[in-house]
Amino acid sequence: MNAKVSAAGAKADIGRALRVGVIGAGVMGSNHARVLAGLPGVLLIGIVDPLPEHRTRAIDLVGCRAFETLDQLFAEGIDAVTIAAPTHLHHEIALACIARNIHILVEKPVASTVEEGREIVAAAERAGVTLMVGHVERFNPAVAAIKQAISGEDILSIGITRVGPFPPRMSNVGVVIDLAVHDIDLIRWFTESDIVEVQPQLSSAVAEREDIALLQFRTESGVLAHINTNWLTPFKARNVTVATRGKYVMGDLLTRQVTECFGFKPDGSYSMRHLPVGHDEPLRAELIAFLDAVRSGKLPAVSGDEGVASLEIAIRCLETPARPAASTMRKGPRRIAG
């Protein structure tokens, strides 16, 4: 999105509370509403969901109004929305909001296809409204600590593990779109470089779509990276390692512990220290960043273009055929010497 935005839509009146709505009252949308209801300078107008049971849950959890349709929310007059509806609805909902000069945060992935994502970005630019993509992992305090630790370093490799049990509410996507897209975004953000090579290995062990993914990448800057993700591990694990020429950084994104190894000596010895990590709720930090961008008219923390770029790499992982290993087996009987 361009830094210069139209006066009609981008810079909100700082002197009044922002009127904000949430679209989608599932687990994520309900959490959006919970956080927004507690933020200063925000008036949560309500949450939209076509399912009565979702609306009832949101009312019980947050105590806000709930609407059945978008038009009912629009009629209340709103400045901004967060879109936590199913991914296949992102495109239609985002364009409807943009057409009314409403600022939007769209949960990841930004859309079902790259083309739809680009249409959302282009529409937001034309209207001069803020568009931010909800890659919430960037706001994890452990991720922020890793990012700071590797700032200015010559990054060599990145390894990310994101595994856990099969999610009961997952329906139409596999682990690449649901999980790995988080880490594709982190690789691009850590390296500040585009991913130019993709080598995926996918498998569907117990699900219809891929539930195991081993993904390898090379960035334009030459960094090698890999992601290990699955829905077959009985417990959640979220780990990041980054090797640079000067240090090795390890982060546990669940326990929020980040360790830095440095001062490598020829005898194999080195120093180690734990880095300070904040305690902010990532979703709260993300929503505050979005609303700050709405008020100031500045670029959001995660732009629409960045969201589309990560989606494009994720889709490439699904479409790129795996490279078969070169066979070392002889065909036919071996000749016995002697």
Report if residue 73 sits inside a domain.
yes
335 falls in which pLDDT band (50, 70, 90)? very low
CB-count burial class (<10 Å; 0-12, 13-18, 19+) for 282: middle
Q: Clarify whether residues 44 and 72 are in a common domain.
A: yes
Q: Clarify whether residues 217 and 249 are in a common domain.
A: yes
Q: Which 3 state secondary structure label does DSSP give 48? A: strand
What secondary structure letter does DSSP report for 326? P
E-strand ranges in the chain read 18-23, 42-48, 66-67, 80-83, 103-107, 131-134, 155-165, 195-203, 212-219, 224-230, 232-244, 247-252, 257-262, 271-274
Report if residue 335 sits inside a domain.
no
Q: How far is CA 145 from the centre of its chain?
A: 17
Q: How many CA atoms lie within 13 A of 223 on its CB side?
A: 27
Q: Clarify whether residues 91 and 141 are in a common domain.
A: no
Count of structural domains, the chain: 2
Residue of 45 and 10 predicted with greater confidence: 45
User: Which of residues 77, 106, 135 is at a domain's end?
Assistant: 135
N-to-C CA span, the chain: 73
Question: What is the DSSP code string of 180-208?
Answer: IHHHHHHHHHHHTS-EEEEEEEEE-SSSS
Q: Say if CB 287 and CB 36 are below 8 A apart.
A: yes
pLDDT for 73 equals: 97
Gap between the Cα atoms of 127 and 125, Å rounded:
5
Paired with 64 in beta bridges are none
Q: Clarify whether residues 114 and 50 are in a common domain.
A: yes
Domain enclosing residue 49, as ranges: 18-135
User: Which of residues 135, 166, 185 is at a domain's end?
Assistant: 135
Q: Clarify whether residues 126 and 240 are in a common domain.
A: no
Report if residue 12 sits inside a domain.
no
Bond preceding residue 50 cis, omega within 30 of 0: no
**Length of the chain (residues):** 338
Report if residue 334 sits inside a domain.
no
Q: Clarify whether residues 253 and 187 are in a common domain.
A: yes
Report if residue 191 sits inside a domain.
yes
Whether 14 has a pLDDT exceeding 60, the answer reads: no
Q: Say if CB 211 and CB 177 are below 8 A apart.
A: no
Q: Clarify whether residues 246 and 123 are in a common domain.
A: no
Name the strands in the sheet holding 271-274, side by side, starting at the edge strand that comes first in the sequence: 195-203, 212-219, 224-230, 155-165, 232-244, 247-252, 257-262, 271-274
Gap between the Cα atoms of 74 and 37, Å rounded:
18
Question: What is the DSSP code string of 2-16?
Answer: -SS--TTTSS--TTS
Report if residue 329 sits inside a domain.
no
User: Which of residues 115, 135, 155 is at a domain's end?
Assistant: 135
Gap between the Cα atoms of 13 and 129, Å rounded:
14
pLDDT for 11 equals: 52
Q: Clarify whether residues 169 and 120 are in a common domain.
A: no
Report the CATH number at residue 102: 3.40.50.720
Mean pLDDT of the 109-117 span? 97
Q: Clarify whether residues 185 and 260 are in a common domain.
A: yes
Q: What is the pLDDT of residues 177-236, one digit of tens each?
A: 999 999 999 999 999 999 999 999 999 998 888 999 999 999 999 999 999 999 999 999
Q: Clarify whether residues 55 and 149 are in a common domain.
A: no
Q: Clarify whether residues 225 and 183 are in a common domain.
A: yes
Q: What is the pLDDT of residues 41-82, one digit of tens each?
A: 999 999 999 999 999 998 998 989 999 999 999 999 999 999
Q: Clarify whether residues 177 and 36 are in a common domain.
A: no
The pTM (predicted TM-score) of the whole model is 0.89
Q: Give Rg (Cα) of the chain.
A: 22
Q: Which residues contact 146 (CB under 8 A, 6 or more apart)?
A: 190, 240, 242, 249, 251, 258
Q: Say if CB 219 and CB 245 are below 8 A apart.
A: no
Q: Say if CB 42 and CB 17 are below 8 A apart.
A: yes
Report the CATH number at residue 222: 3.30.360.10
Whether 264 has a pLDDT exceeding 80, the answer reads: yes
pLDDT for 338 equals: 39
Report if residue 194 sits inside a domain.
yes
Report if residue 330 sits inside a domain.
no
